[in-house]
Structures are given as structure tokens and as C-alpha cells.
Amino acid sequence: MSLYEAMFLVEPPSGDGDIKSILQHIHGILKNNGARIVQTEKWGERKLAYQIGQHKRALYILIHFNASGESIPHMRRAFTLSDTVLRHLILADDLVEEPTGDVFDEEGNFVPRPPPPEDEEPAQEEAVEQAEEGDEAAAVASEPDDEADEPEDKGGEAETDAAPG
């Protein structure tokens, strides 16, 4: 079994009950094809780049799941035939990152994320420090070579701007 991530664009629900039924529908297709759901995130309703049918907006849902490679074409076919799913994209996933949206369990119930520990520095500050260290190393590596700036002497006569005379 491999790890996959799937992005779904679904018709925006009119209420909280609709989001649960949408998630149950998507989870049902995944489970019927032998998938084990790892994480479900609701990214929220957003304006589409282009109209899909009569829809100008869609609800974005990201799901990470484990499944066998043989079941992916069957899932794609089921999502293509689904009236609930406007568009879907299933990709192999090497790494599950921290959730960026609201996280839901397999039944479609909201699961609040725990707050980050206060004693640890944010990851962004570490990334900035690493980038600064990388810039110093890059600056040392990119110092020009003195010999590279001098033109090569090809052993021919030098051209002069002065006319013979």
C-alpha cells in the first residue's frame, strides 16, 4: 500500500449536514476501493479560476489515504461519475505535511488541532536562519576568480584603433 493525496472540488454545501454527507460519500468511495484514510482537511470554499458547469465557486477538500496502486483507476472512475465531485486529482504522496485547513475524522466530524507548544520556536524562524547561513555559503562559493576576469591571450597580433602611418 502506498500513500496518496487527493484534492476534491465539490459543490459548496448549504449547511453543516451537507458537508458531512459529502465527506461520507467521498470516504465511502475510497473505502469501497480498499483505501485507509489517514487525514481529511477542508480548505474552504473558494472562487474557481474558470466556471465548471454552472459552478463559479467550489469547496476544496484534501484527503491523504493509503491504498494499493491497482485501486486508483477504479477510484478515479467512481469520482468522475459522481454528481457530488466537480473535479478531483489523485497523486502519490511522499510526505504528509501539517494540516493547513480544518481537519475532519472519517465520519465527517470536526477535529480541532492542538495549539503548538509554546516552548518551541516557530519553524519559520529556523527556516530564516538556515536561509541566512545558506546565503553566506553561497556568497563565498560565488566569489569571482581573479584569473577568470582577465582575457585570454591567443598569441595573435593585437588590433589597434590607430591607423598606420
* CATH code of the domain covering residue 53: 3.30.70.60
pLDDT score at 2: 87
Let me know if residue 107 belongs to a domain: no
The verdict on residue 109 lying in a domain is no
User: Total domain count for the chain?
Assistant: 1
**Residue at 143 is within a domain:** no
Range of the domain at 82: 2-94
pLDDT beneath 50, residues of the chain: 137-142
> Is 150 part of any domain?
no
What pTM was estimated for this model as a whole? 0.58
The grid coordinates of residue 2 equal: 502506498
> What residue has cell string 516552548?
119
Q: Is residue 164 in a domain?
A: no
Residue 142: the pLDDT is: 47
> Is residue 22 domain-resident?
yes
Residue whose C-alpha is closest to residue 58's, from 38, 79, 39, 84: 84
- Tell me the pLDDT tens digit for each residue of 118-145: 655 555 556 556 556 655 544 444 455 5
Is residue 66 domain-resident? yes
Rounded Cα distance between 46 and 144, Å, is 49
Pairing of strands 36-52, 102-104: antiparallel
Name the phi and psi angles at 162, rounded to 5. -75, 140
Q: Is residue 147 part of a domain?
A: no
